[in-house]
Amino acid sequence: MKSSRRCAPLSELTPSIPASSIIEDLEDLYENAPCGYLSLEPGGRIFKVNKTLCNWTGYRPEELLGQRLHHLLNIAGRMFYETHIAPLLRMQGFFHEVALDLVTAKGDLLPMIVNAAERRDSEGRPISTRITFLKATERRRYERELLDARDQSRSQEAAARASLTSERETSELREQFIAVLGHDLRNPLASISAGARILLRKPKDETETKVLQMMETTVLRMAGLIDNVLDFARGRLGGGITLSRNANTSIEPVLQQVVDELRTAMPDRRIETDFRITQPINCDRSRLGQLVSNLLGNALTHGAPGKPVLIRALTDNGMFELSVSNAGEPISAEAMEHLFQPFFRGRVRASLQGLGLGLHIASEIAKAHEGTLTVKSDSEETRFTFLMPLRT
Amino acid sequence: MNVSARNNVRINGSGERAMVFAHGFGCDQNMWRFVEPVFRSTFRTVLFDHVGAGNSDLSKYDPVKYGSLSGYADDLVEIGEELDLEGAVFVGHSVSAMIGILASLKAPGLFSSLVLVGPSARYIDDGDYKGGFSAKQVEELLEFLEANHMGWSAQMAPAIMGNADRPELGEELTNSFCRTDPDIAKHFARVTFTSDNRDDLAKVTTPTLVLQCSEDIIASTEVGEYVQRHIPGSKLVILNATGHCPNLSAPDEVIAAMRAFV
């Protein structure tokens, strides 16, 4: 096949000095070549060396002639030469790209890349060894840097591994501690709750009733916090949120119970419901109760106190949709980004501040149901919507 | 465990007695390519690579075991056991001279004679003892090994034997004879050049020949003479050959001295 692009012959492009008129001066080529030359007799003594190598090393030719190559090497180089290079040369008849440092007359080290070849007679006996030296200062520096970089990255990796391991151990311990703590906190809380309920049944004045109701609210809030902490710790411990689903029992009573509890605890707040559930929902009922409790708790905390909180639940189009909305200040764009992350807390009165786990746990529960939890917030209302598929 | 595969053991020749060749620090069993074939007509010759060198099984390289010459000597004894060797001739170059001595002490009867080529019982100077190197110089060598790229790209298995006279194959095999995993090379260098086996010399009961080169910077004549002086009944032959590898540079001289001894 012919190339479509034709190259002009070199002679057409360059002003002509006829090639035959330039004669390479071989003697000069040897002496002043851009590389060092050195020849050894079979016994290992230098019998010829070029000017370039003399210039580089600072020796006069007569100072090198009759010497061994060792004369130009430091001890390490000599040992390496004797144990590696000399055998190699003898065995394969040459060596290529060997790194050697020459020692100059002044004692400085001159990094070199060295090739060598044996010249042998017809019977294979060595006549001489020709060695070529190329300066390799920059290259050696670069290689050194590569090695250093390798060593550095190795040690950094080792350090990172070690710190990761210790970090993991610490975090595991911390989460185990939280799990145990959450568990231990539930029991005394149950006693307080039971005590308050007994007292509520007895006749009492208005102040006493108010205090007992406040106690109920607090207990409820605290129980919710503890649940969230436990779930969070468990999730981090690798178990995730586990579900025990049940499609045969209605979800509505659970939702109603959560609403009733909060109404009892906060009688001055209005919670409106709109339940239109016509199909069975295969879900973990107590988990959905926890999700609703977290969403309602959030709405009551952050919503405008004078306005009602609305909870809607309906089945439609093969989906179960549950939303909680409240009026009030919209959620800032910045807060929006972190809303479902653990330990994120919006700006609110200190006494109402929780752990910042409620929405995180709610979104984890949504995920466990292969559902989603999304939020829309503007000046009219803030609405959290949980959406899950009904198919099982 | 397959000792033969671990140490890439190669057996040639025929003969009642065996002759075991051990290579030193730097290369592999190819070191003996000009010497070993000559003895095939009268000996069963055994070549092997120390673990970490040549075509040995690198996965068997255990830094603890090979943290002293004794680990290498154990391998040598195991090779002897696997091949059922008795009264063999041991030929050890450089550091393998001491490895052979240690093996002869561990397994009396394994060897009937020892040929030590360029031996040194200790490389580092110690008081009146002149090993030829200072501790600092040995450290410099270790650093130098790190800086040299022979072996860097070297996960490839080294050395296919027998193509010294076929340089057209050289491209692929360039420098492969002395290619070693850089970490192993460094470790072996450290173990070799910091070893001290002076106290073992007097324990040797096997007839021993020391072959000493002229002008050997790794093991000087003084060092060779020390070895000979301390091994009871041993002989010393000073070769005209120069350098540290007479088995490559002057095989005929080495062969002649060995023949006269065995």
- CA-nearest residue to B151 within chain A is A98
More confident residue, B109 or A123: B109
- CA-nearest residue to B186 within chain A is A80
* Contact residues, chain A, for B170 at CB < 8 Å: 92, 94
Looking at residue A1, its pLDDT comes to 42
Scanning B38-77 for CB atoms below 8 A from A yields none
> How many C-beta neighbours within 10 Å does residue A16 have?
10
Looking at residue B155, its pLDDT comes to 35
Burial label, A154 (beta-carbon count in 10 A; 0-12, 13-18, 19+): exposed
With vertex at residue A130, the alpha carbon angle to CA A129 and CA A135, rounded to the nearest 5 degrees, is 135
Q: Does B24 touch chain A (CB under 8 A)?
A: yes
Q: Does A120 touch chain B (CB under 8 A)?
A: no
Range A2-25 average pLDDT: 61
The upper half-sphere exposure of residue A182, i.e. CA atoms within 13 Å in the direction of its Cβ, equals 19
Q: Does A123 touch chain B (CB under 8 A)?
A: no
CB-closest option in A88, A99, A124 to B177: A88
DSSP secondary structure letter of residue A322: E
Scanning B229-258 for CB atoms below 8 A from A yields 242-245, 248-249
Looking at residue A181, its pLDDT comes to 79
* Contact residues, chain A, for B173 at CB < 8 Å: 92
One-letter amino acid for residue B191 of the chain: V
Helix, strand, or coil here: B236? Answer: strand
Range A357-378 average pLDDT: 90
Radius of gyration from C-alpha coordinates of chain B: 17
One-letter amino acid for residue A52 of the chain: T
Tokens of A175: 């989460």
Looking at residue A239, its pLDDT comes to 57
CB-closest option in A70, A75, A84 to B178: A84
Q: What distance in Å separates residue B135's CA from the closest CA in chain A?
A: 12
Q: Which residues of B are catalytic?
A: 94, 216, 244
* Contact residues, chain A, for B93 at CB < 8 Å: none
Q: Does B126 touch chain A (CB under 8 A)?
A: no
Give the whole-angstrom CA distance, residue A299 versus residue A310: 9
Q: What distance in Å separates residue B242's CA from the closest CA in chain A?
A: 7
Mutate to test the interface with A, among B139, B149, B166, B242 (most CBs of A within 10 A): B149
* Contact residues, chain A, for B144 at CB < 8 Å: 76-77, 79-80, 101
Q: Does A154 touch chain B (CB under 8 A)?
A: no
Give the whole-angstrom CA distance, residue A120 versus residue A136: 29
Helix, strand, or coil here: B84? Answer: coil
CB of A330 within 8 A of CB of A378? yes
Domains of chain A: 25-135 (3.30.450.20), 159-239 (1.10.287.130), 241-389 (3.30.565.10)
Radius of gyration from C-alpha coordinates of chain A: 43
Q: Does B161 touch chain A (CB under 8 A)?
A: no
More confident residue, A237 or A44: A44
Q: Do A86 and B146 touch (CB under 8 A)?
A: no
Q: Which distant-in-sequence residues (6+ apart) come within 8 Å of B229 by Cβ? A: none
Q: What distance in Å separates residue B37's CA from the closest CA in chain A?
A: 15
Give the whole-angstrom CA distance, residue A26 versus residue A78: 32
What is the rounded average pLDDT for all residues in chain A? Answer: 85
CB of A226 within 8 A of CB of A182? yes
Task: Categorize the per-residue pLDDT at A260 as very low, low, confident or very high, splitting at 50, 70 and 90.
Answer: confident
Stretches in chain B below the pLDDT threshold 70: 1, 147-179
Pairing of strands B208-214, B88-93: unpaired
User: For the ranges A78-87, A374-383, B123-132, which has the lowest average pLDDT?
Assistant: A78-87
CA dihedral A90, A94, A97, A99 (to 10 degrees): 30
One-letter amino acid for residue B196 of the chain: D
Strands, E assignment, A267-368: 271-276, 309-316, 319-326
Range A302-317 average pLDDT: 92
Tokens of B84: 């059922």
Looking at residue B163, its pLDDT comes to 39
The H-or-E segment that residue A238 falls in is none
Domains of chain B: 3-121+197-261 (3.40.50.1820)
B199-224 burial, b if ≥16 CB within 10 A, otherwise e? ebbeebebbbbbbbbeebbbbbeebb
User: For the ranges A24-38, A113-127, A221-235, which has the lowest average pLDDT?
Assistant: A221-235
One-letter amino acid for residue B115 of the chain: V
CB of B195 within 8 A of CB of B95? yes
Q: Do A78 and B217 touch (CB under 8 A)?
A: yes
CB of B143 within 8 A of CB of B136? no
Q: Is the dihedral of CA A93, A94, A95, A101 positive or negative?
A: positive
A166-216 per-position pLDDT tens digit:
988 888 887 778 777 777 888 788 888 888 888 888 888 888 888 888 888
Q: Does B219 touch chain A (CB under 8 A)?
A: no
One-letter amino acid for residue A205 of the chain: D
* Contact residues, chain A, for B215 at CB < 8 Å: 68
- With 50 as the cut, is the pLDDT of residue A4 above it? no
Give the whole-angstrom CA distance, residue B17 versus residue B20: 10
Q: Which distant-in-sequence residues (6+ apart) come within 8 Å of A59 by Cβ? A: A104, A105
- CA-nearest residue to A98 within chain B is B150
Looking at residue B154, its pLDDT comes to 40
